[in-house]
Amino acid sequence: MLDTTSTEETSVGNYFISNYPQYSFWKPELVNHVHDVLNNPAPPDPLPLGLYFHIPFCRKRCHFCYFRVYTDKKASEIRAYIDSGIKEIEKYGAMPYLKGRKPKFIYFGGGTPSYLSVSQLTDLTDRMKAVFPWDEAEEVAFECEPGTLTEKKLDQIRKLGVTRLSLGVESFDDHILEINGRAHRSKEIIRSYQYAQNIGFPQINIDLIAGMIDETEDNWIRTVKKAIELAPECVTIYQMEIPYNTTIYKEMKESGKITAPVADWPTKRRWVSDAFDLFVEAGYTITSAYTVVKDPDVKFVYRDALWGGADMLGTGVASFGHIGGVHVQNEHDIGTYLERVTNNEFPIYRAYPINDDETLIREFILQLKLGEVNLDYFKKKFNEDIARRFSNTLQLLKNDGYLTYSVNSIKLSRDGLLQIDRLIHEFFLAEHQNARYA
């Protein structure tokens, strides 16, 4: 039985699904599978390779942030972190599975990659390129907090080879930014956006969050209209979620509240839907449950490669990756991470080798987030007839108006797309249902 109709308050927990099986199934005792992959050469025609590096530093911790970040690190500690990151990357670069391969995409995530200085960034990327050259990379993506950007820094970021600049705007309203713990204000957004536009990045993305603390309908529409005015190539809209390790959750626990001080899920979905309508009216195309793009040919290589089963080397503290069919996550404490790299070890905390069926489900549920799935892909790659395999679940979701399907494709309705991360649990294997996410 599907229970997909209840109206819900926002309580603690994860909404966004970035992987399958969930992180809670990854275990330290499975790390030997990563070594098995690394010690053997890749096949002659290997999977596309991506390289992710996590920069865990921020000026301030946002009240809704659930990522591994540090706000108190000195320049010498940042230097030590970069040195360790490079040592980790060099160690991977020497392994038979990765030796000589060139990444198709690079991603600097955080935290705040733009927290680093120009000289730190230059040093980091020069040494990275010496191990994994970027000359075949189709995309180099880089996350920024607007208040950390100067024209000089942005100019250098472009010169390093960044093609997709992602600005964590979240809202254009100063009160919303302040009360949610953001470090920047709207003036800094506009200033940094204009610098970036003048420099001419091939793609600028801005992140927005629907349902931040104190958000109202009018405010939200103003934020969306402001985003349309700036006309970035890509806009990513998240629905505010309150995972366990957020400041907001800590405050809820202390005051005994079970409902977060943010809009409920139906309201957030309505706001995203309104935003989609306004973007479409302005000429944008919806390309996933979270993104609209100005030019439908604009690609997001990182997402599409990852959701198509690519290899991705996740480096830096707490980062996750996927190598030769094995999920990998690094140590999530910076001290432990540094210590293990110093000891000449891979700083891997836990892993999970996915079997063929889990691989199929992973790609299927991630691709559902795009709003449309081509079922031929699964027939060719996995010899699986998705429509038959999941006929019961698909029929129930269809009856509820969340999707339509034929033998060749599944198409989400707007209503289905806006709650896809909730619906995809229905496709999980029984042993992964109702499990902790992280």
Ligand X SMILES: C[S@@+](CC[C@H](N)C(=O)[O-])C[C@H]1O[C@@H](n2cnc3c(N)ncnc32)[C@H](O)[C@@H]1O
What's the Cα-to-Cα distance from 125 to each of 89, 240, 305, 347, rounded to whole Å? 11, 32, 22, 20
d(CA 85, CA 341): 8
Instruction: Please identify, using beta-carbon distances, which residue of 92 and 238 lies nearer to ligand X.
Output: 238
d(CA 350, CA 32): 10
- Where is 175: in which H helix or E strand? helix 174-179
Instruction: Please identify, using beta-carbon distances, which residue of 51 and 375 lies nearer to ligand X.
Output: 51
d(CA 340, CA 315): 13
d(CA 116, CA 148): 9
What lies within 8 Å, CB to CB, of 105 at 6+ separation is: 48, 50, 51, 137, 138, 139, 140, 141, 301, 302, 305
Instruction: Please identify, using beta-carbon distances, which residue of 121 and 209 lies nearer to ligand X.
Output: 209
Instruction: Please identify, using beta-carbon distances, which residue of 145 and 384 lies nearer to ligand X.
Output: 145
CB of 331 to ligand X, least distance (A): 18
CB of 291 to ligand X, least distance (A): 12
Residues that bind ligand X (CB under 6 A): 58, 64-67, 109-112, 143, 145, 168, 170, 207, 209, 238, 240-241
Instruction: Please identify, using beta-carbon distances, which residue of 31 and 144 lies nearer to ligand X.
Output: 144
d(CA 242, CA 236): 18
CB of 148 to ligand X, least distance (A): 8
Instruction: Please identify, using beta-carbon distances, which residue of 318 and 326 lies nearer to ligand X.
Output: 318
CB of 70 to ligand X, least distance (A): 12
User: What is the DSSP secondary structure assignment for residue 12, as one 8-state letter?
Assistant: B
CB of 196 to ligand X, least distance (A): 13
CB of 414 to ligand X, least distance (A): 20
What lies within 8 Å, CB to CB, of 277 at 6+ separation is: none
Instruction: Please identify, using beta-carbon distances, which residue of 215 and 358 lies nearer to ligand X.
Output: 215
Instruction: Please identify, using beta-carbon distances, which residue of 17 and 326 lies nearer to ligand X.
Output: 17
Cβ–Cβ < 8 Å for 104, 69 = no
Q: How would DSSP label each residue in 50-95?
A: EEEEEE-B-SS--TT--S--BS---HHHHHHHHHHHHHHHHHHHTS
CB of 50 to ligand X, least distance (A): 17
Ramachandran angles phi, psi of 399, nearest 5°: -60, -35
Considering only CA atoms, give the Rg of the chain: 21
Closest C-alpha among 111, 33, 13, 98 to residue 328: 33
CB of 199 to ligand X, least distance (A): 18
CA angle 322, 324, 326 (to 5 degrees): 50
Instruction: Please identify, using beta-carbon distances, which residue of 210 and 360 lies nearer to ligand X.
Output: 210
CB of 206 to ligand X, least distance (A): 9
Instruction: Please identify, using beta-carbon distances, which residue of 47 and 154 lies nearer to ligand X.
Output: 154
**Closest residue to ligand X: CB criterion:** 168
Beta bridge partner(s), residue 313: 51
Q: How far is CA 242 from the centre of its chain?
A: 16
CB of 260 to ligand X, least distance (A): 10
User: What is the DSSP secondary structure assignment for residue 13, as one 8-state letter?
Assistant: B
Instruction: Please identify, using beta-carbon distances, which residue of 88 and 241 lies nearer to ligand X.
Output: 241
Cis peptide bond prior to 347, omega within 30° of 0: no
CB of 16 to ligand X, least distance (A): 7
Please report the beta strands in 355-427, taking only residues with DSSP state E, as ranges in sequence order.
372-374, 403-405, 409-412
